[in-house]
Amino acid sequence: MTLYAVGDIQGCAAEFDALLDAMAFEPGRDELWLVGDLVNRGPDSLGVLRRVIALGDSATCVLGNHDLHLLATAAGIRPAGPGDTFNDVLTAPDAPQLLDWLRRRPLLHHDARLGTVLVHAGIPPVWSLEQALARGGEVTALLSGPRWRDALDGMYGNEPAIWSEGLPPQQRRRFTINALTRMRFCDRRGRLDLQHTGPPGTQAAGLVPWFDVPHRACDVHVVFGHWSALGLKRRADITALDTGCVWGGALTAVPLDPAGPPIAEPGRERA
C-alpha cells in the first residue's frame, strides 16, 4: 500500500487519469490525498469530480478556494465569473449529488500516525494543530448540514486579516476559510496578506511565506497546494504540491508513506 498526495487538479481530468496510470494506483490497496481545488480553470471539472467520487474511501480530499467558489455559485451567493469553467458541474444531471458530496469534504485532514495534516493553503502561524482542527471543524460542520449556505454567506473578502477569538461568527468563518484555503504570505505576527500571489522573494517588505514565520504554533508536517508560483517544495515540515497543471505546468503526486520520489504528469496544451 502506498499513500500518495496529489496537487491541485483544477479540472484537468486527462492529466489526472494519466497520473493515476503512471502511479499504477489501485483503489482498495493504495490511498490518495488530494489538496483541494478539484475544479475550475481547467476543461473538465465534471470529469474530475466523478473520477474522485468513484475512488470511494481510497481518496481523501480537502476543500480548496475554487471548490468553495463553486459551492457559493451553486448557492446563489456569487455568480460565476468570466474565467470560471465549472458550468459543466452546475448543469450536470447529477449536480445535486456532486455538490452534496463536495460540501461534505473537510477543510483539513489530520493523520496522527503520520504526524501530518492535509490542507489546501496552509495553517496560520498563530494556530496550533488543535486550534486549526477546531476552527476548520466549525466551518465543516455547518457546510455539511442543512444550513450549508450559511457557511458560505459572507465568505468573500480579505478582512479580518488577523485572528481573534472574539470575532463575530461570520468574520470568524471568513478568516478560517481565507487562512486554510487562500493564504500564502503573512507578517511575523500572523496577519494575512491575501494580495500577493508571486513566489517567495517577490513580496513586500515585512511579509514572509506562512511556513517561514518563526515559532509557528503548529508543529506537524503540512501537505498543501494552492501556490503554483511556489511549485513543488519538500522539506521536513512541509510538502507543497501545486505545480500549475492548469497553467501548462504539471500535475504532481508525492508518495508520503512509504516516502518516495515525485511523479509528474505534464499539463496538456490548451487553446
- Taking only the tens place, the pLDDT of each residue in 98-142 is 999 999 999 999 999 999 999 999 999 999 999 999 999 999 999
Tell me phi and psi for residue 124, to 5 degrees.
Answer: -55, 140
Domains annotated for the chain, with CATH where assigned, are 3-266 (3.60.21.10)
d(CA 153, CA 48): 26
Single out the residue of 181, 185, 192 nearest to residue 155, CA to CA. 181
Q: How many helices (H) and strands (E) does the chain have?
A: 8, 13
The radius of gyration of the chain's CA atoms, rounded to the nearest angstrom, is 17
User: pTM here?
Assistant: 0.97
pLDDT tens digit at each of 271 positions of the chain: 999 999 999 999 999 999 999 999 999 999 999 999 999 999 999 999 999 999 999 999 999 999 999 999 999 999 999 999 999 999 999 999 999 999 999 999 999 999 999 999 999 999 999 999 999 999 999 999 999 999 999 999 999 999 999 999 999 999 999 999 999 999 999 999 999 999 999 999 999 999 999 999 999 999 999 999 999 999 999 999 999 999 999 999 999 999 999 999 999 876 5
- For residue 118, the cross-strand partners are 109, 223
Give pLDDT, residue 270: 64
For residue range 216-248, list pLDDT tens digits in order: 999 999 999 999 999 999 999 999 999 999 999
- DSSP, residue by residue, 181-207: HT--EEETT--EE-S--S-TTSSPTTE
b/e 60-77 (16+ beta carbons within 10 angstroms → b):
bbbbbbbbbbbbbbbbee
Distance (Å, rounded) from C-alpha 119 to C-alpha 121?
6
Going from the C-alpha of 259 to that of each of 2, 4, 263, the distances in angstroms are 9, 9, 12
For position 271, what pLDDT does the model report? Answer: 53
Q: Given this model, what pLDDT does residue 269 score?
A: 73
Q: In the block, which residue shows the cell 475550475? A: 40
Residue 104 has a pLDDT of: 98
In angstroms, how far is CA 85 from the centroid of its own chain?
A: 17
The closest of 243, 216, 252 to 122, measured between CA atoms, is 216
pLDDT at site 128: 97
Spell out the residues 6+ positions from residue 120 whose beta carbon is closer than 8 angstroms to its own. Answer: 35, 36, 37, 62, 63, 64, 65, 107, 180, 181, 224, 225, 226
Q: Are 182 and 157 in contact (CB under 8 A)?
A: no
Please, which residues have CB within 8 angstroms of residue 267's CB and are 6 or more apart in sequence?
Answer: 12, 15, 244, 245, 246, 247, 248, 249, 250, 251
